[in-house]
Amino acid sequence: MNKDFEGVKKDLPTQSFAKDLVCFIVFGSSVVNANMGKVSDDVDICIVVNNRKADLHQISEFIFTNFKNPILEYIFKMK
């Protein structure tokens, strides 16, 4: 997971949709190693988007390309 996350941290700011992101949160067993040393089967990700015009397809494509078995949730920032 760490290797994947380091690559994403580097690539994310260069993406065309980066301007629409408020927050990118990776959480769950893939981060806290709740599986007692076992490699996690998925990655839990929450993305906070600052407007409803954001290209969610493009964001999802980026996530599914960079993480194995992501579980993805979107939250829209209220104004």
Task: Write the DSSP assignment of 21-60 as a string of letters.
Answer: EEEEEEESHHHH-TTTTPPPS-EEEEEEES-TTS-HHHHH
Q: What is the pLDDT of residues 51-60, one digit of tens each?
A: 888 999 999 9
CB contact at 8 A, 75 and 51: no
Q: Which residues are CB-neighbours of 35 under 8 A, at least 6 positions away?
A: 29
Confidence at residue 4, expressed as pLDDT on a 0 to 100 scale: 66
pTM above 0.85, yes or no: no
Q: Residue 7 belongs to what domain range?
A: 2-76
pLDDT, mean over the chain: 85
Give how many domains the chain has, as a whole number.
Answer: 1
CA-CA distance, 77 to 65, in Å (whole number)?
Answer: 25
